[in-house]
Amino acid sequence: MCGIVGYIGKEQAAPILLDGLSKLEYRGYDSAGMAVYDGEKINCAKATGRLKVLYDLTHGGETMPGCSGIGHTRWATHGAPSDVNAHPHFNADKTIAVVHNGIIENYVKLKKKLTDKGYEFRSETDTEVVAHLLDYYYKGDPLEAVTKVMHRVEGSYALGIIFLEHPDVIYSVRKDSPLIVGRGKTGNLIASDVPAVLKYTRDVYFIENEEIARLSAEDIAFFNVDGEPIEKESKTIEWDINAAEKGGYEHFMLKEMNEQPKTVRDTMNPRIKDDQIVIEELGMTDDEIRAIKKIHIVACGSAYHTGVTSKYIFEGLARIPVEVDVASEFRYRNPILEEGALVLIISQSGETADSLAALREAKKQGIQTLGIVNVVGSSIAREADKVMYTWAGPEIAVATTKAYSAQLIAQYLLAIKFANVRGKLSDTEMAAMLKDMKKLPDQIEMLLNNKERIQKFANRYIAAKDVFFIGRGIDYAISLEGSLKLKEISYIHSEAYAAGELKHGTISLIEDGTLVAAVATQDDLFKKTLSNIVEVRTRGAFVMAVTNEGNTEIEKNADYVIYIPQTNKYFTNSLAIIPLQLFSYYVSVGKGCDVDKPRNLAKSVTVE
């Protein structure tokens, strides 16, 4: 999500910035910009669209003289992709330029405060707050202004900053967004990721949270959040460019799975304030929420599976009837949509043809629509009455992982909010749920750290022909996604079944050694699923079970058990899916498949 590059040295900066940004294109972006100090003032160029547009606009950077500058590729979050919203952002008199990667979570509050003090905002971005806040705190000492801003902003950020009054240095800081500093031969660089600097140096400093770097042409100094000098050691990068783009991971899918703790945090944190859920973009009054009579969830692929999960939550918690449809069915079945209905369209890309058509169908019938979308400014985001964004960042691997996790979180938030507003969930109960929700990122991280055990197990199944996933309730929804992941990337036939339905046909396919993945995280259904496990095992199945910590009695009936940490029963999908993603991933790797680009599949299905 967004790319930052900065250079200060002996060479012309702009061509180096463009070159560095081109190495960050994989991160996804929809506009780009640069600010370069020319010896007198800070010049700026911005362009919506591909980097090539900015390249052509500046003749490959040649038309921007100066040896110090910052560049940015923006993946829109706050505000649509446009020249105005593209970075860099400036204070009023253009003496401070800022590029930013991340989300300033308290920007609304800060913007109000700054507006009250007379600051005028040009863009819709959260980033512009940083430029004006720096201006507000700057009294001649840039380091002091930077540390003050760090104390005021909440959320995630990597920043590159130029102060016109201190043109011989560039400042850079980070918190929860990536940032590295490179010591080059002709000058020094900052970047969001290593590939951007590899052409110039392999000598790199990894900036830790709340650390500040000050770069001049010859020197690099580091400070802590209080502005005190700190020592850092550089590392020599041994990776090649390809590996570096994936942050050292072998595949984008592995990288994206590992980004899930962050994705969940980013989607959740800005919307939880003092034990309340605040979804500003929902734009619905409590009365309107109370008036919802029915929810239709419409989506495709994994997004549809998140809807299957949230049906249980909306119905269980908020007691609102929910219908879930795959979009390609919904659009042609002449759906009955009655007044008081809310249509939820869930889509990572925001461009899936069937989901878009379903949205239009709902609008045609005059029904209010809410998009849960990852790509800002995409068709579904633009056309839905309201949009709630998942802050997962660009997803490159065709098989979704982090966007799926973010979609779940967005729906948990909605369901809990609706339940609370409709009087079905007290403030105390909601606070307890939110407490559990906040633990999810660390719990996901813990499960990801267990990858070697899953890898060993997965290696035993690379020759499998059929795999069955079973579960009940939310566990059935998890099974659907686990099964889809496996077939998508490993080409092994797999099916997900509601465990209780097995006896009506599928159990005839169980043979000696057939792998059955049984998901059993719902306490009230545990015994029932256990019976189904026994049934398949009696017929020769090898059972891999995913269940909650403490359910050790399952070990008597399952051959291989994966435990997930305790959480609220409605959140188990967020945890149980992690080992299933890892399992699919390692089977695919073991088989030598093209993990990130499986055959016949596309990331964004823009035809029906």
Least distance from C-beta 264 to ligand G6P, angstroms?
17
What is the pattern of x (binds ligand G6P, CB under 6 A) and - over residues 556-595? Answer: ----------------------------------------
Comparing CB distances to ligand G6P, the nearer of 289 and 496 is 496
Q: How far apart are CA 13 and CA 362, in angstroms?
A: 51
Least distance from C-beta 311 to ligand G6P, angstroms?
17
Least distance from C-beta 181 to ligand G6P, angstroms?
35
- Whether the CB-CB separation of 202 and 234 falls below 8 Å is answered with no
Of the candidate spans 202-210, 397-405, 546-554, 587-595, the one that interacts with ligand G6P by CB under 6 A turns out to be 397-405
Question: Between residue 317 and residue 376, which ones bind ligand G6P under the rule CB under 6 A?
Answer: 347-349, 352, 355
Of the candidate spans 106-114, 124-132, 279-287, 600-608, the one that interacts with ligand G6P by CB under 6 A turns out to be 600-608
Of the candidate spans 45-53, 398-406, 408-416, 555-563, the one that interacts with ligand G6P by CB under 6 A turns out to be 398-406
Least distance from C-beta 1 to ligand G6P, angstroms?
16
- Whether the CB-CB separation of 31 and 81 falls below 8 Å is answered with yes
Q: How far apart are CA 510 and CA 185, in angstroms?
A: 64
Asked if 2 is an active-site residue, the reply is yes
Measured from the Cβ of residue 507, the count of other Cβ atoms closer than 10 Å reads 18
**Which positions ≥6 away from 497 have C-beta within 8 Å?**
468, 469, 470, 476, 479, 506
Task: Give me the catalytic one of 2, 44, 67, 593.
Answer: 2
Of the candidate spans 33-41, 101-109, 571-579, 597-605, the one that interacts with ligand G6P by CB under 6 A turns out to be 597-605
Q: How far apart are CA 573 and CA 566, in angstroms?
A: 12
Comparing CB distances to ligand G6P, the nearer of 352 and 411 is 352
Comparing CB distances to ligand G6P, the nearer of 221 and 353 is 353
Comparing CB distances to ligand G6P, the nearer of 37 and 469 is 469
400 is an interface residue for ligand G6P by CB under 6 A: yes
Nearest-CB residue for ligand G6P? 301
Backbone angles phi, psi at 271, to 5 degrees: -105, 5
Q: How far apart are CA 221 and CA 594, in angstroms?
A: 43
Question: Between residue 266 and residue 305, which ones bind ligand G6P under the rule CB under 6 A?
Answer: 300-303
Comparing CB distances to ligand G6P, the nearer of 194 and 398 is 398
Least distance from C-beta 261 to ligand G6P, angstroms?
20
Of the candidate spans 211-219, 266-274, 394-402, 520-528, the one that interacts with ligand G6P by CB under 6 A turns out to be 394-402
Q: Is the dihedral of CA 110, 111, 112, 113 positive or negative?
A: positive
**Which positions ≥6 away from 48 have C-beta within 8 Å?**
30, 31, 81, 82, 83, 86
Least distance from C-beta 536 to ligand G6P, angstroms?
28
Least distance from C-beta 473 to ligand G6P, angstroms?
22
Burial of 106 (0-12, 13-18, 19+ CB in 10 A): middle
What is the pattern of x (binds ligand G6P, CB under 6 A) and - over residues 439-458? Answer: --------------------
177 is an interface residue for ligand G6P by CB under 6 A: no
Q: How many residues bind ligand G6P (CB under 6 A)?
A: 16
Q: How far apart are CA 578 and CA 441, in angstroms?
A: 11
Q: How far apart are CA 384 and CA 361, in angstroms?
A: 11
Comparing CB distances to ligand G6P, the nearer of 188 and 400 is 400
- Whether the CB-CB separation of 323 and 294 falls below 8 Å is answered with yes
Comparing CB distances to ligand G6P, the nearer of 85 and 352 is 352
CA 311 to chain centroid, in Å, comes to 22
Of the candidate spans 36-44, 111-119, 229-237, 596-604, the one that interacts with ligand G6P by CB under 6 A turns out to be 596-604
Comparing CB distances to ligand G6P, the nearer of 35 and 298 is 298
Asked if 67 is an active-site residue, the reply is no
487 is an interface residue for ligand G6P by CB under 6 A: no
Least distance from C-beta 45 to ligand G6P, angstroms?
32
Comparing CB distances to ligand G6P, the nearer of 328 and 420 is 328
∠ CA 327-325-270, nearest 5°, is: 85
Burial of 463 (0-12, 13-18, 19+ CB in 10 A): exposed
Comparing CB distances to ligand G6P, the nearer of 169 and 595 is 595
**DSSP designation for 225:** T
Q: Which of 164, 221, 279, 605 binds ligand G6P (CB under 6 A)?
A: 605
CA distances from 116 to 95, 113, 120 (A): 21, 5, 9
Burial of 249 (0-12, 13-18, 19+ CB in 10 A): middle
∠ CA 11-13-19, nearest 5°, is: 110
Q: How far apart are CA 187 and CA 68, in angstroms?
A: 9
Q: How far apart are CA 537 and CA 543, in angstroms?
A: 7
401 is an interface residue for ligand G6P by CB under 6 A: no
Q: Among candidates 132, 184, 227, which has minimal Cα distance to 7? A: 184
Is residue 473 classed as helix, strand or coil in its secondary structure?
coil
What is the pattern of x (binds ligand G6P, CB under 6 A) and - over residues 113-142? Answer: ------------------------------
Task: Give me the catalytic one of 94, 232, 363, 603.
Answer: 603
Q: How far apart are CA 31 and CA 75, in angstroms?
A: 7
Hey, what's the torsion of the CAs at 264, 267, 270, 274, to 10 degrees? -60
601 is an interface residue for ligand G6P by CB under 6 A: yes
Report the interface residues with ligand G6P, using CB under 6 A.
Answer: 300-303, 347-349, 352, 355, 398-400, 601, 603-605
Catalytic positions? 2, 603
